[in-house]
Amino acid sequence: MTIGDRQNPSVAVEKKKKKLFKLCPFWQRRSNTSSSTQNPSQNYRSRHGHRNTDVSPVSKPSSTISSVARSLLPARRRLRLDPSSYLYFPYEPGKQVRSAIKLKNTSKSHTAFKFQTTAPKSCYMRPPGGVLAPGESVFATVFKFVEHPENNEKQQLNQKSKVKFKIMSLKVKPGVEYVPELFDEQKDQVTVERVLRVIFLDAEGSSAAMEKLKRQLDEAEAAVEARKKPPPETGPRVVGEGLVIDEWKERREKYLARQQVEAIDSSS
């Protein structure tokens, strides 16, 4: 043993280990294999090029999930209809009969509405469409020509007809006027409020549906007459073109005219 080894016993121990490893090389191979067998799954993945599955997968954005869920939900309706499912008509073959429906905007925005029918040759609506402010309501009158039954068959009353009416709505900005092209330009934002079926009622009989129909027709006619009346005058009256008559000025002119007449009478 050298003098340096005596001074450093740890160095001497390391040298002895190296000599033993050289004499018995299988010890070194065993130590290497034992270290490699500590985690066989990791060695297998590294040899076969597998990626580490411990990494958490990338989560999809929540916006896609919300958009899919939104598409599955039913569209929120903007109008309340009365009646809500059917249009009732008095059954009078060979005549044009009427029905009425009330539409009310229950949303917080201006809403345009439009009627469509499967029988445009025999049915039409007044008005065919319009724009309602939040909380505003309107009565629409539906006209239909009732054809005679084929082969003299008797029409079964209080049953659904093949004719349908579809009512659509569209959110619009305040001040926008109704034109049918609005619904063609913004098809993606159009909501089908309801598809109404036609039911014929006995015109001579008495029923709750017939009484309600008559009441709604009277209200619709009153609303039409109210729209025809000119708005009440809130400002000064206008006579002719650009001539504004002030009541005080009119009274003053009359007073001056009377004064002149009295002056002439007194001088004579």
| pLDDT tens string 95-108 | 999 999 999 999 99
16 token code pair: 């002895």
Number of C-beta neighbours around residue 123 at 10 A: 21
Whether pTM > 0.75 for this model: the answer is: no
Nearest residue to 141 (alpha-carbon basis) of 159, 128, 158: 128
Q: Is 2 exposed, middle or buried (0-12, 13-18, 19+ CB in 10 A)?
A: exposed
Average pLDDT, the chain: 76
> Taking a C-beta distance cutoff of 8 angstroms, is the pair 81, 194 a contact?
yes
Q: Which pLDDT band, with edges at 50, 70 and 90, does 55 fall under?
A: very low
Q: What angle do CA 63, 65, 66 make, to 5 degrees?
A: 65
DSSP assignment letter at 106: -
Q: Which of 140, 130, 147 shows the shortest CA–CA distance to 93? A: 147
Label residue 238 by pLDDT band (50, 70, 90). Answer: low
Phi first, then psi, for residue 170 (nearest 5°) are -155, 130
Q: Which residue has the higher pLDDT, 266 or 23?
A: 266
Query: pLDDT tier at 161 (50, 70, 90 boundaries)?
Result: confident
pLDDT tens readout for residues 177-210: 999 899 999 999 999 999 999 999 988 888 899 9
CA distance linking residue 238 with residue 240, whole number of Å: 7
Integer CA distances (angstroms), 206 to 202, 209, 240, in order: 8, 8, 54
